[in-house]
Structure 1
Amino acid sequence: MSVAATLPGRELAGHNRISTQALTSVARAAAAEVFAVPASAVRVSWTDDAGALALSLSSPISAPTLSVVRNNPERVARSGGSIVSRATEAKAKILAQVEHLSGSRLSRVDIRISGIQATDEGRVQ
């Protein structure tokens, strides 16, 4: 039984803190999932944005090789669109995931695509 369950209607004093390392791990995992790359390839930094957390990411993104696109141009649309449109959509997805998992409020997510991780088979996320 939790303490909160034994004290209905009463808020408990104190606070919770999530370490920068834990926030970084959550952000890496979220970005890795969205960009379909290993979490170890994602670089994360945090800055203070007028009292709120601002997340900056640098990551490669998975994409079909040029030969695959040349032979099957529809593959770009099936993979989620252009690199720019996928990176733009990723901001909202990563922000929502990090806020949901950590309980922290982020002011923004800045993304820098650092490279392309070529995929010849399967669907790019």
Structure 2
Amino acid sequence: MSVAEAVETTTSLAGHNRISTQALTSLAQAAAAEALGVASSDIRADWSDDDGLLALSIVAPISIPALGDVLRNPLRVQALGGSIWERAVAAKATVLETVTRLSGSQLSRVDIRISGAQVTEGGRVQ
């Protein structure tokens, strides 16, 4: 019997798996960085207990286009996902889904506090 067959036929295996807080934090930072268009090193992620589930608190800047770019092309704001508020709300859902899917941990909520803005010059926001 192969290992895969044994796992399929066994309802539970002895032992447990744990993901360290540091690994979860790095994952949350990467997910938030992608959603907000900034470097993961600029993001602070903190965990708390929320009635047995994990609550994630993110403090991060958000990337924004240069004001001159927006004045020349007001549709640029919508192309990036909307206002800062709209992008932060969307980022909450994205971070929650990404962290849950990749870690298997169940999060109750994600709170995001925007701590600043990083202006991107020309081109597409990364």
- TM-score of the pair, normalised by structure 1: 0.93
Other-structure match for 1:22: 23
Q: What do residues 21-57 of structure 1 show as CA deviations (whole Å, max 9, x unaligned)?
A: 0000000000011111110000000000001000000
1:106 aligns with 2:107: yes
Q: What do residues 58-112 of structure 1 show as CA deviations (whole Å, max 9, x unaligned)?
A: 0111110112111211111111100000000111100000011111000000000
- TM-score of the pair, normalised by structure 2: 0.92
Superposed displacement of residue 5, structure 1: 2.9
Amino acid at match of 1:25: S
Residues 64 and 118, structure 1, Cα contact 8 Å, conserved in 2:
yes
Other-structure match for 2:35: 34
Other-structure match for 2:117: 116
Residues 33 and 39, structure 2, Cα contact 8 Å, conserved in 1:
yes
Superposed displacement of residue 6, structure 1: 3.4
- Counting matched residue pairs gives 125
Which segments of 5 or more consecutive residues in structure 1 lack a partner in the other structure? none
Worse-matched range after superposition: 25-34 or 7-16: 7-16
Identity rate, percent: 61
State the Cα RMSD in Å.
1.6
Detail structure 1 runs of 4+ shifted over 4 Å in the superposition: none
Q: Which whole-Å CA distance do the structure 2 matches of 1:57 and 1:5 have between them?
A: 41
Which segments of 5 or more consecutive residues in structure 2 lack a partner in the other structure? none
